[in-house]
Amino acid sequence: MLDRIPMTEKPGIAPAQAIRALIDEGAISLGAPLLDRQIQPASLDLRLGPKAYRVRASFLPGPGQTVRERLNDVLLHEFSLEQGAVLETGCVYLIPLLEGLALPKGILAATNPKSSTGRLDVFTRVIADGTRGFDTVPEGYAGPLWAEVSPRTFPVLVRMGSRLSQIRFRRGDISLSPEEMRALQAKERLVDTDQPDLRDGISVTVDLDGRGREHRVGYRAKRHTAVIDVEKVNGYEVHDFWEPVSSRDGKLILDPGEFYILASNEAVHVPPDYAAEMVPFDPLVGEFRVHYAGFFDPGFGHAGSGGKGARAVLEVRSHEVPFILEHGQTVGRLVYEKLAARPDTLYGQDLGSNYQAQGLKLSKHFRLP
């Protein structure tokens, strides 16, 4: 039975080899053959299905109801993704995913946008039947998964099989105590600062210094651009979609509703036996937020897989009013969780990983300036 899969008996995040076991045992169903590199060191990429539904509003199904049952209440029209289709900015789409779940008792799942999805400002969440929350799948869940997709800045071309989200599987309470975080920092140097704030993870601050980059500290997305094909790597000129952003005296004024790509002041490291997740900082400190949470796979920034620490790229948006962001200001926290076992391949090792040893970097779709 699924509960006897060796890699999933221990508390922790399921590594790649455990995800393969979950597929073999039927806990993860595939609507199409598994793709090369679809399984990452501690996550599985989720693929869009053959049809999309344009809806007038986002929703959650709630207990006892399926997404499909609720779909008729908000449906505007449906269309095929088999030959590709453009998702327009400001619209909300609901798309069934090719992957489904039949989770065993004790195993939960969580989802996030892929890094490249967040850097395109494509708002993406995963919905399961009967749930009251996005991006979470309870233990024992058996049913389909749906992606809610809403491009915020750029129209995007997607097709059946496009990968916008990823899913991670976990068993048990695997959060690290402050004492465990301090011990891990001392052993592995998770962040390249001498006295990091390790309460509830690692404090991540923004780099607005600009030294060595002619004071360029980030990019701001342009409006009214051409369509971006999410499958096209190194296919677009940066200046057609982005304008460089400079800071003055370590400060940057965020304009309401604009989308920015910035970088962390710290270089971070995820050891091979751990995974990490970026979570938003306390919203009470200002009218901005790091727009998308994200997974950091085992080996991100790790010397053994081609990195020497890597900056976290920050997708930042202000809310209703202009907000002054300052160099070194805390914008998020990196929370570490232990894996059930070390993955057989780390991030950056023969996986075509796009963001190992990164600094300030746009998504993989843009050619380096």
Q: Tens digit of pLDDT for each residue in 326-350?
A: 999 888 888 999 999 999 888 765 5
> What is the per-residue pLDDT across 299-316, written as a single tens digit (0 to 9) for each?
888 765 444 568 888 888
- The values of phi and psi at residue 115, to 5°, are -55, -45
Give the closest residue to 267 by CA, choosing from 339, 359, 149, 335. 359
Say if residues 307 and 251 touch (Cβ distance below 8 Å).
Answer: no
Inform me whether the pLDDT recorded for 275 exceeds 50: yes
Domains defined along the chain, listed by start? 12-171 (2.70.40.10), 178-338 (2.70.40.10)
> What is the per-residue pLDDT across 217-263, written as a single tens digit (0 to 9) for each?
999 999 999 999 999 999 999 999 999 999 888 899 999 989 999 99
Task: Compute the 3-state secondary structure of the chain and give helix, strand, coil in percent, each to the nearest 5.
Answer: 10, 40, 45
Structure tokens of 31?
A: 């609507």
Question: Which range is least confidently modeled, 248-262, 270-284, 313-327?
Answer: 270-284
- The values of phi and psi at residue 22, to 5°, are -65, -35
Identity of the amino acid at 203? S
Residues 6+ apart with CB under 8 A from 362: 119, 219, 238, 242, 261
Give the closest residue to 100 by CA, choosing from 149, 58, 46. 46
* pTM, two decimal places: 0.90
